[in-house]
Amino acid sequence: QLQLQESGPGLVKPSETLSLTCTVSGGSISSSSYYWAWIRQPPGKGLEWIGIIYYGGTTYYNPSLKSRVTISVDTSKNQFSLKVTSVTAADTAVYYCARRLLAAAPPGHWYFDLWGRGTLVTVSS
Amino acid sequence: DIQMTQSPSSLSASVGDRVTITCRASQGISNYLAWFQQKPGKAPKSLIYAASSLQSGVPSKFSGSGSGTDFTLTISSLQPEDLATYYCQQYKSYPLTFGGGTKVEIK
């Protein structure tokens, strides 16, 4: 069964770059039926979509973060990654990676069906 | 951006009660809507997609309905294990957006 696991530093200093990796196990990242996403949740708050990537490299970002975010994919390692530059305390959150699946039916429905456990990243000096 | 508004933000109900959560989109999204359950300290879990399609393995006590701008998630008979925050999410267009969440508590 496919699983997602986030990894990376739990503490990042203000103005530095946050870097996380999501490792996909039990299946291939290179499928035309999947997109791969990053979503975050500040402590005690709701969910915010950060961005998404297709195995071929096509990306879409949340405009609120677009100038600071890069998502990339490494199909040889079955991983995709997130970088957020110039972080502040407002970037403190649990970061989740997730799979966006093309439903078998009805047609055209791409939805988040699988999530990693999440990793807490704190921005503090 | 499409704004998603959930109501209520929290509710308290008794075991066995029927619970309904509402989600409203700021513009029409057809049925491109999903619902998630997030238990305390855990990752969100997919419940429903395409507004009313039940994710594999999810109990049939959960159901979704709606189209256009107004959607509902119903729990037919609330159980203690349903204590969680529930989120709606539209995937009609980018940026993908979530509702603010509805926290369900057991009386």
- pLDDT of residue B31 exceeding 90: yes
Q: Which long-range contacts (CB under 8 A, 24 or more apart) does A103-109 make?
A: A103/B49, A103/B50, A103/B53, A105/B53, A106/B31, A106/B50, A106/B53, A109/B32, A109/B49, A109/B50, A109/B53, A109/B91
pLDDT digits (tens, 9 = 90+) for B52-105: 999 999 999 999 999 999 999 999 999 999 999 999 999 999 999 999 999 999
**Cis ω for the linkage preceding A106 (within 30 of 0):** yes
A98 has which bridge partners?
A37, A115
pLDDT at B19: 98
pLDDT at A105: 87
Inter-chain touch B101–A112, beta carbons under 8 Å: no
d(CA A79, CA A8): 13
Identify residues of A whose CB sits under 8 angstroms from chain B CBs.
Answer: 37, 46-49, 52, 60-64, 96, 100, 103, 105-106, 109-118
**Cis ω for the linkage preceding A14 (within 30 of 0):** no
pLDDT at A60: 97
- Closest by Cα among A74, A24, A81, A116 to B43: A116
Is A58 exposed, middle or buried (CB count within 10 Å of its CB: 0-12, 13-18, 19+)?
exposed
CB B38 within 8 A of CB B44: yes
User: Which residues of chain B does A106 touch, with a Cβ-Cβ cutoff of 8 Å?
Assistant: 31, 50, 53
Inter-chain touch B50–A96, beta carbons under 8 Å: no
Inter-chain touch A47–B98, beta carbons under 8 Å: yes
User: Which residues of chain B does A61 touch, with a Cβ-Cβ cutoff of 8 Å?
Assistant: 95
Question: Which of B46, B87, B99 is nearest residue A111 as measured by Cβ atoms?
Answer: B46
Low-confidence ranges of chain A (pLDDT < 70): none
The alpha carbons of chain A give a radius of gyration, in whole angstroms, of: 14
What are the backbone angles phi and psi of residue B65, rounded to the nearest 5°?
A: -150, 170
Q: Token pair for residue A61?
A: 């970002």
Number of helices (H) and strands (E) in chain B: give both, helices first: 0, 11
**From the CA of A18, how many Å to the nearest CA of chain B?**
20
